[in-house]
Structure 1
Amino acid sequence: LVQVDGSSYRQPGARLLVDTEGRVLAGAISGGCLEGDVAARAAEVCATGRGVRLMYDLRADLEAIWGFGAACDGIAHLLLEPLPDPSWLADVDAIRSRRQNGAVLTVLDGHGGGSSCAVLDGDAATGTWRPIGNQVHGIAAPELRESARAAQRTAHPLLHDLCDDAAALFIEPLVAPIALHVIGAGRGAEAFVHIARAMEWEVTVIDHRPAVLAELHLPIEVTTHVATDVVTHVVTHVVRADQTDAFQTLLASLPQDGRTAIALLSHIFDVDLAWLTALLPLPVAYIGVLGSRTRASQLLDAVDTALGARGTALTERMRHRLHAPIGLDLGGESPASIALSAIAEIEAVIHGRPAGFLRERQSPIHARTPTPRVFEHDGPVSSKCDAGLADRPA
């Protein structure tokens, strides 16, 4: 899905994988109304070896046209391209797994076709463009890096117009999956893992009690490890961390970036204090602590004292990063309800949204006019794309 005009269930960057027999193998590009028709065209595209762009006007009477009856009130522009050599997808997966900046570049030609042509490995300013197959179109465009930088900064795909025979370049940033570190494997931790895995997040469970870790009932596809070191290349990690361990050594082996969230669930004051003292200075997006507002205030006072003893101040940015009590006000009290409210809060924080009712949102729902985010390491606004983001109202 490369462009949307009006309303659409999915947004640009949504992908679908189908085979020549018209079977949907993975992904989605709509709420279910377009997949069948798109898949039916796969054999022809593979036979010709050329990509083709499709436009679905969802504002029309789709019940009469295709029997969809979607009434989505928008226009979806798609590129359907053959995939004779899928090896470049492994590069994409590796870049996302390393949690490095990257992007996929797709050329949309002036003849109604197009194809994926390059993968950017790294930041737009310093990364390397790797051509896909023999494709090199558009990689040398001098303004490409600035557009790729804007896509990476906003985490939203964009169309970049060219002046030659190509209609545009579609730049899709490679956004790392959200990493959730659950500290404390007691009551409720399993619900956090199950819900987060349903969201396809990377999950690490950390505790200093081997017996509690051993009793966890995790998703069947999860490989568990009880050790003092983090085991990589698994969907969910289970890590034993003694209170006497060097927290910084353990944390250095885990993701700690703008798409990292941490949930402190131990409900043991001294354990939470030690972890929170180590965690608050990190550049993560979210830290949530289980417990009451009074307990949270006591924890912050103790953390302030501990950081002060190390010569570090408890800043307003650290306070803003902390969510205690954890979660949105959904009203539920069960461990599963608490996990749901916390993960919903994390999702809102990561996407820079206020987590209110969509029916009360005044601006468009989707990413075409996103709610502004605060980038902790941003420098001065230096491009029209960045300035546009900064000026948009919430």
Structure 2
Amino acid sequence: MKEIRRIIRFYDELKAENTPCALAVVVDVKQSSYRRIGARLLVAEDGRFVGGISGGCLEGDALQRAKSAIQLGRPVARTYDTTEGEDATIGIGLGCEGRIEVAFIPMDFTEQWNEIELLRSVVDTRIPRVMLRHLDTVLMSGEPQFEVSLFQPEADRFTLYLPFEPAIPHQFHGESLNALAKGRSSVKTIRGERGFPHRVLFEVLHPRPRLILTGYNYDIPAALRAAKLLDWEVWVVAPLRKMTKEITSLADRVLDYGQVKEVPVDEATAVVLMSHDYEWDRKMVQHFLPLKPIYLGMLGPRKRMLKMDESLPDLELAAYPNLYAPVGLDVGAETPEEIAAALISEIIMVLRGRSGGALRERGGPIHENA
């Protein structure tokens, strides 16, 4: 969500200036690409931009195409196929060996539900959403439209309906639920009663990760800084009288141990116990484990967790799949900053459903095709 937040802020600046802009969005990827589906780049008419759709190799061409969309007043599309030496054709160096489809959509400041306004409506939600995007051209005009809608699972409804055959929306519903269950964006071909194929992108918008840290020692600021670099929401729970100014200035919220029941836990919440105090960690485990955070980490050696498991037989700590003790990926971390890097990397691994191994040992592509 960090990039989306930055784009929304930039959009608001451009709207206040009345400076036209266009949004570039990666809508499909085949094989290798530095950025994946949902990467966005907001381009102002004067050339300023925020975000990115590649490692820098596509942005030069993308800026020109975004300006073209602004001038034309309608969306344009571009497919960058780096598997066939197209980099020489468009005059840029591409090394990803993939096929990247990008939509360039002029933003209408007067439109209540343009794409950025839809993103604004979900950026602070704690429930995953699915953004649907029509990828085919509209038959009558022959021009790409890239209409978007938003599926809200808690209300079981769509914000807007796309211009399809009447029989298709129920298929949107099923595919949206499938995308949420897998937690992964994908492109599907849907056919209506008349047999026309419609390519639709189901983009999963995940909530902003929330990190709960318990403790106040000198390793807490390092973990805080690492998480804030990713724009995570971070809460710290510890005795308020022992909180340092550095901790209170970095954290989004600080609470005393006695206020721990006020801490919200959901499927995008990770909890890390870093108090270096066995009894406090034991109390925190008793509180947080039943709430089932996606990640519950405990700083310290494995024998500490085993001792706690013996003292809390009803909780069966060793059987809890999302308990990580010791915390962090095995990278030989020693300093607070290195431990923070190993810890945050492990949480990302859990959020993404990956193994955490070295990429050179991974069989097959780095990312799965949409």
Q: 1:314 aligns with which of 313, 316, 324?
A: 316
Aligned to 1:357: 358
1: CA distance, partners of 2:248 / 2:60: 37
Give the superposition deviation at 1:112: 5.1
1:131 is the counterpart of 2:143: no
2: CA distance, partners of 1:193 / 1:93: 25
Spell out the pairing of 1:112-131 with structure 2 (5 A cutoff).
113-123=144-154, 126-131=155-160
1:159 is the counterpart of 2:183: no
In structure 1, what residue type is equivalent to 2:323? L
1:237 is the counterpart of 2:253: yes
Seq. identity, %: 29
Give the superposition deviation at 1:326: 1.0
Give the superposition deviation at 1:181: 0.5
1:29 is the counterpart of 2:53: yes
Structure 2: runs of 5+ lacking an equivalent? 1-25
In structure 1, what residue type is equivalent to 2:45? T
In structure 2, what residue type is equivalent to 1:54? R
1:187 is the counterpart of 2:218: yes
Give the superposition deviation at 1:138: 6.6
In structure 2, what residue type is equivalent to 1:361? R
Aligned residues of 2:171 and 2:190 also touching (Cα < 8 A): no
Structure having greater relative contact order (Cα 8 Å, sep ≥ 6):
2
When structure 1 is superposed on structure 2, of 266-275 and 110-119 the one drifting more is 110-119
Aligned to 2:107: 83
Aligned to 1:144: 172
1: CA distance, partners of 2:278 / 2:240: 15
In structure 1, what residue type is equivalent to 2:191? C
Q: 1:287 to 1:104 in 2, by over 3 A?
A: same
Aligned to 2:10: none
Aligned residues of 2:135 and 2:146 also touching (Cα < 8 A): yes
Aligned to 1:11: 36
1: CA distance, partners of 2:269 / 2:124: 13
Aligned residues of 1:194 and 1:218 also touching (Cα < 8 A): no
Aligned residues of 1:106 and 1:115 also touching (Cα < 8 A): yes
Structure 1: runs of 5+ lacking an equivalent? 225-235, 370-394
2: CA distance, partners of 1:68 / 1:27: 19
Higher helix proportion (structure 1 or 2): 2
In structure 1, what residue type is equivalent to 2:129? G
Q: 1:138 to 1:345 in 2, by over 3 A?
A: farther
1: CA distance, partners of 2:134 / 2:67: 21
**What SS does the corresponding residue of 2:267 show, helix, strand or coil?**
coil
Q: 1:138 to 1:195 in 2, by over 3 A?
A: farther
1:285 is the counterpart of 2:294: yes
Number of paired residues?
Answer: 334
Aligned residues of 2:272 and 2:298 also touching (Cα < 8 A): yes
TM-score (norm 2): 0.83
**What SS does the corresponding residue of 2:349 show, helix, strand or coil?**
helix
1: CA distance, partners of 2:118 / 2:80: 31
Aligned residues of 1:55 and 1:76 also touching (Cα < 8 A): yes
Q: Deviations over 1:310-344 (max 9, x none)?
A: xxx426652x2111111111112111111111111
1: CA distance, partners of 2:31 / 2:56: 18
When structure 1 is superposed on structure 2, of 77-86 and 160-169 the one drifting more is 160-169
2: CA distance, partners of 1:192 / 1:357: 23
Aligned residues of 1:8 and 1:73 also touching (Cα < 8 A): yes
Q: Deviations over 1:28-66 (max 9, x none)?
A: 111111112111122221232221211111124456334
1:99 is the counterpart of 2:123: no
Q: 1:187 to 1:208 in 2, by over 3 A?
A: same
Q: Deviations over 1:247-284 (max 9, x none)?
A: 4x323xx2x22221111100111110000011112221
**What SS does the corresponding residue of 1:42 show, helix, strand or coil?**
helix
Give the superposition deviation at 1:103: 1.7
2: CA distance, partners of 1:130 / 1:79: 21
1:177 is the counterpart of 2:202: no
